[in-house]
Copies of this chain bind each other. A is one copy, B any other.
């Protein structure tokens, strides 16, 4: 078995080099603005489909960075994404990450209303007194609820990262966000997940300067 000998600090750099090289070979060119995000999503999944399915609204990276600089908080629908986001970097700008999915009041309300906890979590986020970025890695119902809140003018997020994964209403829920005028980073189709949501957040946080 031939192992590469690479210093721990160089593993990520070498991985990014390999990803860029393979994207080149596949003839996929990605705009400079979006490249760090696409590469980090591929790095996190080893799935090159993300080069084709990630879609970005105009100037979304600049808008996301500005929101973070203005102290935006990130709301996510999964505790795994909460664990994965670089909270230290975010906190430098005054931001925090919130996940309400395991909260007792959310669980109770969801049972009463026969909706998912993700739906109730989106409503709970309205109480946060800061600009908001949503990073949805699991529940299409969260995106569907965000669309309703936006339509009802109860919410105007700085950015929606919409990468839930799955088989029921996932494709459709992403399209509902694409129809809005809210800045977005969406992975079209069924794929996504908590690690992809965290990777997208980190791709922005690691390139803040």
CB distance from A154 to the nearest CB of B (A): 20
- Judge whether A167 and B84 touch: CB under 8 Å: no
Interface size (A, Cβ < 8 Å)?
Answer: 48
CA distance A43 to B190 in the complex (A): 10
Q: List the number of copies, as a whole number.
A: 2
Asked if A64 CB lies within 8 Å of chain B CBs, one says no
A66 within 8 A of B: no
Q: Is A144 an interface residue (CB 8 A)?
A: yes
List A residues at the B interface (Cβ < 8 Å). Answer: 1-4, 6-8, 11, 14-15, 18-19, 43-47, 79-84, 110, 114-117, 141, 144, 165-170, 172-173, 175-176, 189-195, 198
Known: A45-B193, A47-B47, A193-B44. A167 touches B7 (CB 8 A): no
With A114-B7, A165-B44 already in contact, the answer to whether A80 and B194 are too (CB < 8 A) is: yes
